[in-house]
Amino acid sequence: MPLNFKIYRANINNAVATIINDERYILYDSKLLDLANNQTASFWSSISILAHEIGHHLSGHTLNQMTDNHTAELEADKFYWIRTL
């Protein structure tokens, strides 16, 4: 899948991969990323959160409605980590 998504900060208390008006987005709350970074003392925590959301797009989860949310979450993690090795 093409890497044609846009990344925006939003006041959502989360990070999500979504489609709005046929365009792919990653939305994130900067407070969430700051909290993750502060808890782990590393900026890699926020990078991992965003990479996970990218994994949802590139795994096709935003195109089809998966009924097993747990499987979708594991696939998003797997998509990112396998490609970084």
Q: pLDDT tens across 23-47, in order?
A: 999 999 999 999 999 999 999 999 9
**Strand runs labelled E in 1-85:** 5-9, 15-20, 23-28
What are the phi and psi torsion angles at 20 (to 5°)?
Answer: -130, 125
Is this prediction's pTM over 0.75?
yes
Q: pLDDT tens across 54-65, in order?
A: 888 888 877 776
